[in-house]
Amino acid sequence: MKNIKSMLPEEIAADFQELGLPKYRAKQVFRWLGRGVGSFEEMSDLPKELRRRLGEEYAIYKPKVIGKQVSKLDGTIKYLWELYDGNAVETVVMSYKHGNTVCVSSQVGCRQGCAFCASTIGGLVRCLEPCEILDEVMFSQLDSGKPISNIVLMGIGEPLDNYDNVIRFLRLVNHPDGMNIGMRHISLSTCGIIERFDDLAALDLQLTLSVSLHAPDDETRSKLMPANRGRGVDALMNACRRYYDVTGRRISFEYAMINGVNDTEFHAHLLAKRAKSVSAHVNLIPLNHVEERRFCPSTQGHMKAFIKILEDEGVNVTVRRKLGGDVDASCGQLRRKMQKAEGKI
């Protein structure tokens, strides 16, 4: 059966035409799907016979909340969803002054193998369908009652390793008859799958591309991030430059500060040079401690000295505020915990 929630209204309309159904029904159905219904039966303004017929042609899946943690510190909510095949992914809802941001996963697990990240420990299980990513946004909003205005693709998985489904998700969530979230309110984060940068730039989506840099030199970066091996920081910078030239959108470098690993003066100066070469903004993240990983967050002293070097060099730098410190809000942590509790690992 076809998965109707991953289809755009134009595609539903074309399908309906083939089935001999009136085209205008497509918009009606798409709107219902955007309200989070779990079956055609709930589409109360469709004729009964049509609902039955659609139920035979198409499937509608809906994720189930199997974990929910609410931070006592700042209200950050972390959801663990069960998907139709029993797999689980995480979503985080964060509240800022300017609105609510949802952080979505794009894959079940991840195959990129970053040394500090919890999401990748069990490898990649599968890619998420476009509608499964959409459901993370939609059901976070429905369950929490918080209207979502911003999306970051910074949960479990590498979005550019699930390129087609992620692009389709973006078109679905951005659609005026759907959630209608503007591309300028969406950030896509990548560990640097540069083979996709030109494709993404050509789409001219106006979203923000975040690059998880974490080290400005090949030696450190290849140790931390296997995705750097065989690609290299120079090639990554060239890809960033082209992306910026084509889209005019400033790239953001994510940089998790790891004590004694990537937070020395050498790293700060080289990072400043790299950032300036592609007009990138630098977002420093205090490393979240992951139980299975041996790394520690940088000390306050290291952070301060690092920031000063960047600022003195004229780099646009911010430090990410830590939210949800009490709810395992770092990538993949909640899913790992559940798997452990169930004796799966």
Residues interacting with ligand SAH, by CB under 6 A?
114, 116-117, 154, 158, 189-191, 212, 254, 256, 285, 287-288, 290, 330-331
- Which one is catalytic: 296, 311, 331, 342? 331
- For residue 192 the two structure tokens come to 């640097």
- Count of C-beta atoms within a 10 Å radius of residue 343: 6
In three-state secondary structure terms, 233 is: helix
Name which of 189 and 228 has its Cβ closer to ligand SAH: 189
CB of 327 to ligand SAH, least distance (A): 14
- Which one is catalytic: 11, 42, 90, 195? 90
Q: Could you give the C-alpha distances from 332 to 83, 149, 199, 237, in angstroms and in order? A: 16, 23, 28, 28
Please say if 311 is a catalytic residue. no
Give the residue among 41, 62, 37, 59 at the shortest CA–CA distance from 50. 41
In three-state secondary structure terms, 155 is: coil
CB of 104 to ligand SAH, least distance (A): 10
Give the residue among 275, 167, 255 at the shortest CA–CA distance from 215. 255
**Neighbouring residues of 25: CB distance < 8 A, sequence distance ≥ 6:** 16, 46, 50
- H helices of the chain, where? 9-18, 24-33, 48-57, 130-144, 163-174, 197-203, 218-224, 233-247, 265-277, 300-312, 333-341
Name which of 60 and 211 has its Cβ closer to ligand SAH: 211
CB of 155 to ligand SAH, least distance (A): 6
CB of 211 to ligand SAH, least distance (A): 7
User: Residue 184 — φ and ψ, nearest 5°?
Assistant: -70, -10
CB of 20 to ligand SAH, least distance (A): 43
Name which of 106 and 141 has its Cβ closer to ligand SAH: 106
Give the residue among 212, 198, 207 at the shortest CA–CA distance from 169. 207
Please say if 90 is a catalytic residue. yes
Q: How many residues does the chain have?
A: 345
- Give yes or no for a contact between 165 and 130, defined as CB atoms under 8 angstroms apart: yes
Q: Running DSSP on this structure, what letter comes out for residue 297?
A: B
CB of 117 to ligand SAH, least distance (A): 4
The catalytic residue positions are 90, 331
